Chains A and B, each alone.
Chain A
Amino acid sequence: MITLNHYLLAGGLLFATGFAGVLLRRNILVIFMCLEMMLGAANLSLVAFSRFGANAAVPDYNAQVLVFFIITVAAAEVAVGLAIIVALYRLRQTTHVEDINLLKF
């Protein structure tokens, strides 16, 4: 029997994987992909909560609307973020985050 805990654990582990990628990888594109993975993990938790809500006969659609908004905002974020990465690459010819240290004191 698959319970809410299983879904939350799967979502949490996916989030941890993305988190590890953001912290450990040095390629800005891979870091960005890992951010998307973290958003997907949050979506999995939300959908699981919507399904295993108090009224088990019908899923709670408010949570799914929130997931819809998250996906929309994430798509906009990807477009803007990739445009910034391309502009950065034009300027510095690198996607390695340790080469982009102008703001470092």
Chain B
Amino acid sequence: MNPVLFWIFASLMLVFGAMVVLLRNPVGSALSLVVSFLCLAALFVGLDAFFIGIIQVLVYAGAVMVLFLFIIMLLDLKTEQRRKLNLPAFLGGLAVVAAFVALLVRLLSGFEPGTVAASALGQRVDDVRGVGFALFNDFNLPLQVVGALVLVATVGVVVLSKHRLK
């Protein structure tokens, strides 16, 4: 991937990811998350994972975020009122996140990618074919289990959405 494109999309992804956390209006958070996911899909495409990038756009940025926005509109959420801050919990959360970032930087600074890094491919990538082949041969049973999971989730949503459980 072109380094300039990587920096553009990675920084956009992180900025809009931060806006999800910082904005007080849930609609703004959801729209920022859509942009963040689109930049993530661009990074996937830059890693030659075209199929995953397209799924990311269709499923995440499309279906899932529309569902989120739909629920936000359905519940008619307003901008959060500013409440009294639970200071110990807030500081504790910040400390945990800071510790996580410090650990990440420490781990990655001792991690040498060396010559493993590959430049962008010049050849054709049979991406969908490779994923499909692995999916339907090596991972056939997990695929069917996931199918059952999606069915169970569908039934579960219908049951949860019923007004009164008998």
**Given that A4-B113, A20-B21, A34-B21 are contacting pairs, would A59 and B130 also be in contact in the complex, using a CB cutoff of 8 Å?**
yes
CB pair A61 B134 closer than 8 Å: yes
B1 touches which of A2, A53, A78 (Cβ 8 Å): A2
Give A1-36 as 1s and 0s: 1 = Cβ < 8 Å from B's Cβ atoms: 111111111101111111111011111011011101
Q: Are B142 and A69 in contact (CB under 8 A)?
A: yes
Contact (A65, B135) CB under 8 Å given A36-B60, A76-B149, A86-B71: yes
Contact, CB under 8 Å: A29 / B153:
no
Q: Kindly identify which residue among B52, B80, B134 contacts A62, using a CB–CB cutoff of 8 Å.
A: B134
Q: Which of B20, B72, B146 contacts A37 (CB 8 A)?
A: B20
Given the complex, which residues of B lie within 8 Å of A10, measured CB to CB? Answer: 10, 13-14, 43
The B interface is mostly helix, strand or loop, or mixed, namely helix
Q: Any chain A CB within 8 A of the CB of B156?
A: yes
Interface string of B1-31 (1 = CB under 8 A from A): 1010010001001100110110000100110
Number of A residues with CB within 8 Å of any CB on chain B: 73
| CB–CB B157/A58 < 8 A | no
Partner of B47 from A7, A9, A14, A37 at Cβ < 8 Å: A7
Q: Which residues of the partner chain A approach B29 to less than 8 Å between Cβ atoms?
A: 29-30, 33
Assess the A16–B97 pair: CB atoms within 8 A: yes
Chain B contact residue count (CB 8 A cutoff): 78
Which listed residue, B17, B59, B111, B131, touches A17 by the CB 8 Å rule? B17
CB within 8 Å of A: which residues of B? 1, 3, 6, 10, 13-14, 17-18, 20-21, 26, 29-30, 33, 36-37, 40, 43-44, 47-49, 51-52, 55-56, 59-60, 63-64, 67-68, 71-72, 74-75, 77, 80, 83, 86, 90, 92-94, 96-97, 100-101, 104-105, 108, 111, 113, 116-119, 121, 123, 125, 127, 130-131, 133-135, 138-139, 142, 146, 149-150, 153-154, 156-157, 160-161
8 extra A-B contacts, CB within 8 A, seeds A79-B67, A95-B77? A8-B111, A20-B93, A26-B83, A44-B43, A47-B44, A62-B134, A68-B55, A72-B150
